[in-house]
Chains A and B, each alone.
Chain A
Amino acid sequence: MEVNVIGEALKFMVLGMGVVFIFLYVMILSVKIQAYVIGKYFPDKVPASTPSPATAASENAEEKARVAAVIAAVTEFRKNKS
């Protein structure tokens, strides 16, 4: 039996491109659903995470103030001692 190979190849093409597009289309849909669900029920954590460097900076400032206070106290103490 003579097989029409070109016809077979064209059938492969229809099947292949169809499956690729269906797969990617379903993927796009699920990505959109996922983005919607996450956006709605798990609000962006970004603002929650950004304060951390800010608090670190403020802690730093506090620490500096404390060190300054200690130095000032020590110099005062030494002055009184002499």
Chain B
Amino acid sequence: MKVKQIFLALLFVCAFMTTAIQASSQEHQAVPATATAEEGSVKHAYQPKSLSQLAVSFWETTGLRAIFDTDDGEMAIDPSGKSKPMSAFESSLGRIIMILIVFILFYLAIAKGFEPLLLIPIAFGGLLANIPLAHMTGPHGMLGVIYNMGIANEFFPLLIFMGVGAMTDFGPLLANPKTALLGGAAQFGIFGSLVGAVALGFDLQSASAISIIGGADGPTSIFIANRLAPEMLGAIAVAAYSYMALVPVIQPPIMKLLTTEEERKIQMGIQRKVHSREKLIFPIVVLMLSILILPESTPLIGAFAFGNFAKESGVVDRLSDTMQNALINTVTIFLGLGVGSKLAADKFLVIESLGIMIIGLLAFSAGTAMGVIMAKIMNKFSKEPINPLIGAAGVSAVPMAARVVSKVGSDAKPGNILLMHAMGPNVAGVIGSAVAAGVLLSIFK
């Protein structure tokens, strides 16, 4: 009896040892780099260094040297893993300029309150991207990982669209559907600046990618830039988001220039009450239309319609709540940092960026102007008065543009509340710029 037990125990020990040896030999195969080390223990080679050698090697890893020693041959790595040597300007003065730009963005966000939710993550991403030697934008750096995770594959813009859909109330648009045309007119910003960009010497495809800034829609801009001109994504996204942040500065002068004092004082009637079923069916209607007319735009409109349908269905409040709060906030953090990674000196400080910023500004202004002009025309022919200011909300920066309209309206005449009237063109602008994006994609497919 006892012999049998001992025999069994021995058998177990043997079995265990063979598996252990097998495992260790597999380890050796898996890691050929440690093949020189004997018996599985790794020994790192080290040669004694003097104190001065230590000090020199430390100096070589400091940021001070990386910035001020211009011919150190530092490499710039982008998220796809490609690397190129940085020029002396990029690794020294360029970085300092970019860090100063980042501080200006911080100032605008904190002191002036321009879209801090976007500018703070973008600017901080830009700060991190300009750190020397840390390679944060490389494929294994934090910013590079974020970039590959959701910007290079266009995933984050769609998630943002889902959240925007869940936040959007189509009530004002459904109550006064003809204001949707204003959201269409403002898309002139896209196509007008397309002509401008071509005139400046960009090729047609890059010009299309740049002109989408005129849609005043960050996610759409990223989506299109990725498809048409990925090398310009950084500057396009930064331009789109900075101009969205600057809506309260850019729009009012144009609006005041194109309207008279009397026109700004026009009051609009009370909107009719919208049936909840209309709101429920609307996202499906829009999606069906885009399926029939322009399937290229369905990634954007589909995500938007899903978010809105979840909200209006009224039975999945938990999901719609997550989309409009937790999810969109999380994605905004990642999107901001990822876009900010393109503020690295070697990517941003190129002459094209300047062109992109100029065309972006033109696009934005043209969109605003066309929206206002369209609203003036509609006011002439409409039975109910239409305040031309609401045309400016046709650029889709939701809800910033509508708030600006409301503010300019109440400045002209206290108590003139245009917010809900401006929301109609505003949400139509979102749909309009997604459609315009689909048209541009259809041209270059």
Contacts and interface: CB of A to CB of B under 8 A. Distances in A.
A27 B285 contact: yes
Interface in A13-47: 13, 15-17, 19-28, 30-32, 34-35, 38-39, 42, 44-46
A56 interface: no
Interface string B179-209: 0110110011011101101110001100110
A5 B207 CA distance: 10
B281 A34 contact: yes
Interface stretch (B28-36, B230-238, B429-437): B429-437
Given A21-B181, A21-B184, A23-B294, A9 B194 contact: yes
A27 B183 CA distance: 12
Nearest to A42: B277
A31 B439 CA distance: 23
B282 A31 contact: yes
B131 interface: no
A39 B191 contact: no
A10 to B, nearest CB: 6
Contacts of B286: 27
A76 interface: no
Contacts, number: 115
B293 to A, nearest CB: 6
B175 to A, nearest CB: 9
B350 interface: no
Contacts of B192: 13
Nearest to B170: A31
B204 A5 contact: yes
Contact of A9 (B177, B204, B275): B204
A35 B174 contact: yes
A6 interface: yes
A2 B182 CA distance: 37
A8 B428 CA distance: 27
B411 interface: no
A6 B207 CA distance: 11
Given A16-B190, A42-B277, 16 more contacts: A5-B203, A6-B199, A9-B204, A15-B439, A16-B187, A16-B191, A16-B194, A17-B187, A17-B191, A19-B435, A20-B436, A21-B184, A24-B428, A24-B431, A24-B432, A34-B285
Interface of A: 5-6, 8-10, 12-13, 15-17, 19-28, 30-32, 34-35, 38-39, 42, 44-46
9 contacts: A6-B195, A9-B198, A12-B191, A19-B435, A20-B184, A23-B293, A28-B178, A32-B177, A35-B275
Interface of B: 173-174, 177-178, 180-181, 183-184, 187-188, 190-192, 194-195, 197-199, 203-204, 207-208, 273-278, 281-282, 285-286, 289-290, 293-294, 428, 431-432, 435-436, 438-440, 443
Leading 9 A-B pairs by shortest Cβ distance = A13-B191, A9-B198, A28-B177, A9-B195, A24-B184, A31-B177, A16-B439, A16-B191, A5-B198
